Amino acid sequence: MRFVARALEFGHNSGIRRWIGELFPFADRWWFPPIAAILSAAATLSLTVPVGPVLIAVVALNPRRWRAVVLWAVLGSAVAGALFTHLLGHFGMAWMDRQLPQLASSKHWHLLVEWTANYGFLTLAAIAATPFAQTPALILGAVLGMRWPSVFGALLIGKALKYAVIGAATARATRAPIVSLDADQVRAHVDA
């Protein structure tokens, strides 16, 4: 029961911080990068937690292994996105109308429908590579009948580009030496 309660709190910012904070002692373990896949999949399936901040936090715990963490995060998020699209294809429009009733009236939705109908794979890959939410594109892919291997491939390409940039930037920022100046050094520098 405790695990279920903790899993449900994952979608809240305090829950994410707690989960990731508890991973800190294990950042050097061999199984740490696959944890990024689980967290990324959970964030993707939550439809409310963006994977980017989760990835930044996980990479910051061990910046030397950022490439492995990014690879696993891409795999986890792409599998979860393809699974979501596949499942939504079975539940269809009824679920979408209940969960997101405002979506069908949006002019951006109609533009996305046109792009996805004409360039499905490329549209989904491009959206996955941007900082924009991919959930509407995944929903649209399901509604338009995109096959899960196409969704998986598009997400794999787009997320690999986006998460590689995020991971590299985070690793570089967290590996930078922190310069600490004492009060005398600051005064000497200001007086000069």
Give the predicted TM-score (pTM) of the model. Answer: 0.75
Q: For residues 162 and 130, is the Cβ–Cβ distance under 8 A?
A: yes
The whole domain housing 83 covers: 2-175
What's the pLDDT tens digit per position in 158-175? 999 999 999 999 999 987
Specify the range with the lowest mean pLDDT, choosing from 25-34, 66-75, 181-190: 181-190
Looking at the structure of the chain, the number of domains it has is 1
Asked if 167 and 52 count as a contact pair (C-beta separation under 8 A), the reply is no
Please name the amino acid found at residue 6: R
Residue 55 lies in a domain: yes
Residue 184 within a domain: no
Q: Is residue 189 part of a domain?
A: no
What is the enclosing helix (H) or strand (E) of 119? helix 107-129
Residue 183 lies in a domain: no
Asked if residue 192 belongs to a domain, the reply is: no
- Condensed to tens digits (0 to 9), the pLDDT of residues 33-88 reads 998 899 899 888 887 788 888 889 889 888 999 999 999 999 999 999 999 988 88
Q: Is residue 182 part of a domain?
A: no
